[in-house]
Amino acid sequence: MKNTFLAFAVLLLASTFSSCVILSPKKYKALLGTKDSLYTAFSEGQIKIENLEDEVKRLKKDTTLIAEDLRDLQSRFNDVNANYSKLKNNSSSEITKLSGDLAAREQRLKEVEEVLRKRDEATNQLKEKLQQALLGFTKSGLTVDIKNGKVYVSLMDKLLFPSGSIVIDENGKKALAQLAKVLEEQPEINIAVEGHTDNQKVNNLGQIKDNWDLSVLRSTSVVRYLTETEKVESVRMTATGKGEFQPLGLNTGADGRSKNRRIEIVLSPKLDELYNLIK
């Protein structure tokens, strides 16, 4: 390109000289100035062309890099889209499964609540029947209460036993006979007989060594009477002795000790249906 420009300049000068044999100094200087201007313009143009060529190379390189990045992003997008579709399908399945599980749990909860409602209803009815049947013994220290879904029939020791004895007296037998009549009408009721004492040491009671013995033996006396005399099913019965360790009152006075010496007959409905529901 540079040689072409020089040839053009020489040709221009030659043509000028051929048309005029003798040039004036002024015209000659003008022609030299024109040649210099053309050469300068050509040099600047050449630099611009080289810069443009470099820019084209850079743009081509950038375009290649952008294309690679675009392909990489497209590949990532496809992966993300595929994972999203899979997750969406799995989520729909999980939601359907969870909805089914929740519905089943809600149904089971309703069934449990219904069983508990029936239990509470039966417990209240049992309490009312016992209060009516044992009404004549309330002045002798008999109470009927409901605690934790169970009916507690509490009989003070003076209602059942002579002092320091494990043999049920006649008044106690009458109370237990009335109790047995109600229990016969309630075959779905489990019966636990608990013996309780005060904290006074046992003295001169023969085979009875301490309050543990006294509470257990009184409990078993009640169980034997209910099963052997009143024919309550033995399989429904449990006898336990709590000794002095579950007092109702303070053992510092006669009234508190009297409350603590008692037999508690704990009546609880069989909960087989409930246990089956919560397995």
- Rounded to whole angstroms, the Cα distance separating 244 from 215 reads 8
pTM to 2 decimal places: 0.63
Residue 246 or 35, more confident: 246
Regarding whether 273 and 163 lie in a shared domain, the answer is yes
pLDDT confidence tier of residue 271, bands split at 50, 70 and 90: low
> Is residue 47 included in any domain, yes or no?
yes
CATH of the domain at 131: 3.30.1330.60
Are the C-beta atoms of 213 and 203 separated by less than 8 Å?
no
> Of 20, 45, 60, which residue constitutes the final position of a domain?
60
> Is residue 72 included in any domain, yes or no?
no
Per-residue model confidence (pLDDT) at position 169: 94
> Is residue 77 included in any domain, yes or no?
no
> Is residue 123 included in any domain, yes or no?
yes
End-to-end alpha carbon distance in the chain: 97
Instruction: Choose among 197, 143, 151: nearest CA to 175.
Output: 143
User: pLDDT for 204-227, tens place per residue?
Assistant: 778 888 999 999 999 999 999 999
> Is residue 65 included in any domain, yes or no?
no
> Is residue 210 included in any domain, yes or no?
yes
Instruction: Choose among 249, 245, 241: nearest CA to 215.
Output: 241
Regarding whether 145 and 256 lie in a shared domain, the answer is yes
- Rounded to whole angstroms, the Cα distance separating 199 from 216 reads 15
> Is residue 144 included in any domain, yes or no?
yes
Regarding whether 131 and 245 lie in a shared domain, the answer is yes
Q: Are strands 262-269 and 150-156 parallel, antiparallel or unpaired?
A: antiparallel
> Is residue 97 included in any domain, yes or no?
no
pLDDT over 60 at 159, yes or no: yes
Work out the average pLDDT over 240-256. 95
Q: Which domain holds residue 44?
A: 2-60
> Of 41, 60, 79, which residue constitutes the final position of a domain?
60
Regarding whether 164 and 43 lie in a shared domain, the answer is no
- Rounded to whole angstroms, the Cα distance separating 269 from 25 reads 137
User: pLDDT for 166-196, tens place per residue?
Assistant: 999 999 999 999 999 999 998 889 999 999 9
- Provide the domain count of the chain: 2
Q: Which two tokens stand for residue 85?
A: 């579709």
Regarding whether 193 and 271 lie in a shared domain, the answer is yes
Regarding whether 33 and 143 lie in a shared domain, the answer is no
Regarding whether 270 and 146 lie in a shared domain, the answer is yes
